[in-house]
Amino acid sequence: MSGSPSDLSLNKNVNVPEIPIEIVSDEEMALIEAALTAARSISFPVAPTIPSQSSFSQFHRNARSIQSITLLAKRRFSGCTGSDIEDLANLGTTQKKSRGIDSFLHRFRKKRGLAVTDITGTEWCEKQMEFVLLVGRRRSNRAMKAGMARHAELEEEIIEKVKVKVKSREDSWALKLLNFIIGVNQLLTEGLTRELSVIGFVEGIWMVGVIDEIRMPQTESGRNPILVDTKTRVRDTLPTGPQQRNGRLQLMCYKYLWDNLVADKFPSAQFFDFFALNPYYILSEELRETTADAGFPATTLDDVLRYFKNTYSILAPADNKLLLRYEFQKDNMLLGEDQFTYDTDWLKKQIQDCLQFWLGERDANYAPEGERWKCGFCQVASVCPANITDSERTVSPTNNDVNITRS
């Protein structure tokens, strides 16, 4: 990691006509992205409440151009090997692994944390997730690249990236924490932030994720930030039930992480231990200058962590109403919105089911019989031992089971 550059992003002073959105994927991406764990960056999101001037200045003292810096320290959570798909052609059922060193969690997410996309990918198809972990991530197609290009276009409307060199794991995490702090400031001052990462210790594991968009309510009485996720689709149709369910799971995971953070459920000692970090590590000279320029002068990783804690201590839980937006990739037309209510019990059950797979407590399950049409969009379907028939692979579900408001 020594000397490797990370992205530091500067907020652009531009007038955005309407609240911007992050475009995550096209329809094919929505069908298989979750299961392919192309994990996104690690920065740190927030659930703010508008603070008083005194509480805000408590951790923004000496802030110079605090609105001018937003860090995006991109990191992938892949632990994939370089094997070919053909190597797994004879893979039937996996050998049940112990909860320890043989589990997928330990083998592929050690010192990295489990990504929210790992959870949604497992919910989509555990067998596909297993192949992705053992073989490697999928190839990008034209539609996926178009979706990423749209995402970059929207990002550049409010952010200008600057390279900052990191020389250690501690430097990298300091940048991620700083990104969270500045992202919160952008949310509080401008009412909007994007690509904001969350981290939390939930269900006995460390989990990370990146929220597409966070909006502050426009009413004075509104104190709970609204979490939004926008997806693009190749066809001008709304998603099917399983896609909608998967998208809802993703947003609920973000709220779960966010709310745990603002409730001060962040065990610092376990954080340093799990990610193998030295809290008293002296940050690189360039990074120390960066923190000072941002208004948070820090010498060690522990210094940055204290700013991080001061920041999330003034935030409020996310709103219980979560929003999924669907756009047509061809012209960015809004196809519809799905506003739904956070369901704690359902979410915890989904996470616990996924963790049984990640912790090696059982073998990977195939997609349910009624959802085997997913195999038609899967790049490892030809070697999957599920023995899906051609007819099953071509059947596509209807949208009748989706309750979404069309714009």
DSSP string covering 16-65:
-SS----B---HHHHHHGGGGT----------B-PPPHHHHHHHHTT-SS
- Residue 334 β-bridge partners: 327
Task: Answer whether 276's CB lies under 8 Å from 168's CB.
Answer: no
Closest CA relative to residue 253, chosen from 204, 214, 217, 199? 199
Q: How far apart are CA 199 and CA 153, in angstroms?
A: 26
Q: How far apart are CA 193 and CA 229, in angstroms?
A: 12
Backbone phi and psi for residue 74, each to the nearest 5 degrees, phi listed first: -75, 130
Residue type at position 67:
Q
Structural domain containing residue 264: 4-406
For the record, the structure tokens of 392 come out as: 């099953």
Instruction: Report which secondary-structure segment, H or E, holds 142.
Output: helix 142-156
SS3 345: helix
Per-residue pLDDT of the chain (407 residues; tens, 9 = 90+): 445 556 555 555 434 333 333 333 333 333 334 333 333 333 333 333 333 333 333 333 333 333 333 333 332 222 333 333 333 333 433 444 445 568 999 999 989 999 999 999 999 999 999 998 998 766 677 777 777 777 677 677 766 666 788 899 999 999 999 989 988 998 999 998 988 889 999 989 999 999 989 999 988 777 899 999 988 888 899 999 999 999 999 999 999 999 999 999 999 999 999 999 999 999 999 999 989 998 999 999 999 999 999 999 999 999 999 999 999 988 889 999 999 999 999 999 999 999 999 999 999 999 988 998 888 888 888 888 875 455 544 444 444 334 444 44
301-312 and 169-190 helices cross at what angle (nearest 10)? 30
Task: Answer whether 260's CB lies under 8 Å from 337's CB.
Answer: no
Q: Give the Å distances, CA to CA, from 351 to 32, 210, 315, 333, 405.
A: 19, 17, 25, 33, 27
Task: Answer whether 121's CB lies under 8 Å from 128's CB.
Answer: yes
Residue type at position 164:
V
User: What is the number of structural domains in the chain?
Assistant: 1
Ordered DSSP codes for 83-110 = --GGGGTT--SPPPPPSSTTSHHHHHHT
Q: Give the Å distances, CA to CA, from 254 to 88, 96, 208, 227, 403.
A: 33, 30, 9, 8, 22
SS3 323: strand
